[in-house]
Amino acid sequence: MWKFSVRRILIMIPQLFVLSLLIFVLAKMMPGDALSGQIDPNIDPERIEELRIEMGWYDPWHEQYASWVGGVMKGDFGMSFRFKMPVTELIGQRIVNSFWLSVATLILTYLIAIPLGITSGRYNDTFRDQLITGYSYVGFATPLFIFALVMLWIFGFQLQWFPTSGSVEPGMQPGTFDYFMSKFYHLLLPALSMALITTFSTILYLRNEIIDTKQKDFILLARSKGASESRVYNQHIFRNSLLPIAAFFGFEITGLIGGSIFIENIFGYPGMGQLLIESISLRDFSVVTATTLLFGVASILGALISDIILSLVDPRIRIK
Partner 1 sequence: MAEKLLEIKNLKTSFRIKDDYFAAVDDVSLNVNKNEVLAIVGESGCGKSALAFSIMGLHTRAKMEGDILYKGENIVGISASKLNKLRGKHMGMIFQDPLTALNPLMIIGDQIGEALLLHNKELSKTQRKEKVINLLNKVGIPRAEYVYEQFPHELSGGMRQRVVIATAIANEPEILIADEPTTALDVTIQSQILDLIKDLKEDMNSGIVLITHDLGVVAEMADRVAVMYAGEIVEIAEVTTLFEEPLHPYTRSLFNSVPNASEEQDRLHVIQGIVPSLQNLPRNGCRFAPRIPWIDGSAHEAHPQLHEIKPGHFVRCTCYKHFHFPEEVRKEEEHHGVS
Partner 2 sequence: MGFLKVEDLKVHFPIKGGLFGRTLDYVRAVDGVSFTLEKGKTYGLVGESGSGKSTTGRAIIGLNHVTSGKVYFEDKEITGETKAKSDFRKDIQMIFQDPYSSLNPKKRVIDLVAEPIRNFEKLTRKEERIRVQELLELVGLNPESILKYPHEFSGGQRQRIGIARAIALKPKLIIADEPVSALDVSVQAQVLNFMKEIQDELDLTYLFISHDLGVIKHMCDHIGIMYKGRYVEEGSAKEIFENPQHIYTKRLVAAIPDIDPRKREEMKQFRAEVNTEYEQSYNDYFNEEGLAYGLKPISDTHLVALPEKG
Partner 3 sequence: MEANTTNVEIKTKEVIKSPSGFSVVGRELIKDKLALISLIFLIGITAFVYGTALFLDQDEIVRVDLFSIYEPPGEEFILGTDYGGRDVFGQLIIGTRNSLSIAILVTLMTGIIGILYGLISGYFGGHVDNIMMRILDFFLILPFTMIVIAFVAIVPKYGVWTFSLIMTAFLWMQIARLVRSKALAEKELDYIQAARTLGTTNFKIMFRHLLPNVSSIIIVTMTLNLAANIGLESGLSFLGFGFPESTPSLGTLLSYARNPQTLEYRWWIWVPASLMILLLMLAVNNVGTALRRAVDARQRRG
Binding positions for partner 1, rule: CB under 8 A: 216-218, 220-229, 231, 235-236, 239-240, 243, 313-316, 319
Nearer to partner 3, 99 or 140 (CB): 140
The reply to whether 287 sits near partner 3 by the rule CB under 8 A is no
Query: Which of partner 2, partner 1, partner 3, none does residue 292 bind (CB under 5 to 8 Å by kind)?
Result: partner 3
The reply to whether 15 sits near partner 3 by the rule CB under 8 A is yes
The reply to whether 217 sits near partner 3 by the rule CB under 8 A is no
Nearer to partner 3, 47 or 258 (CB): 258
- Segment lying near partner 3 (by CB under 8 A), choices 115-123, 166-174, 176-184, 280-288: 280-288
Nearer to partner 1, 41 or 226 (CB): 226
* Conformational region of residue 268, where left means phi above 0, alpha means psi within -120 to 50, and beta covers everything else: left
Query: Which of partner 2, partner 1, partner 3, none does residue 93 bind (CB under 5 to 8 Å by kind)?
Result: none
Taking the complex as a whole, the smallest distance from the CB of residue 7 to partner 2 amounts, in Å, to 5
Q: Which of 299, 305, 308, 311 binds partner 3 (CB under 8 A)?
A: 299
User: Would you call 238 exposed, middle or buried from its count of C-beta atoms within 10 A (0-12, 13-18, 19+)?
Assistant: buried
Taking the complex as a whole, the smallest distance from the CB of residue 231 to partner 1 amounts, in Å, to 8
- Segment lying near partner 2 (by CB under 8 A), choices 3-11, 130-138, 248-256, 261-269: 3-11
Residues near 35 by Cβ (< 8 Å), separated by ≥ 6? 48, 51, 52, 81
Taking the complex as a whole, the smallest distance from the CB of residue 295 to partner 3 amounts, in Å, to 5
The reply to whether 10 sits near partner 2 by the rule CB under 8 A is yes
Taking the complex as a whole, the smallest distance from the CB of residue 23 to partner 3 amounts, in Å, to 7
Nearer to partner 1, 84 or 225 (CB): 225
Q: Which residues bind partner 2 (CB under 8 A)?
A: 3, 6-7, 10
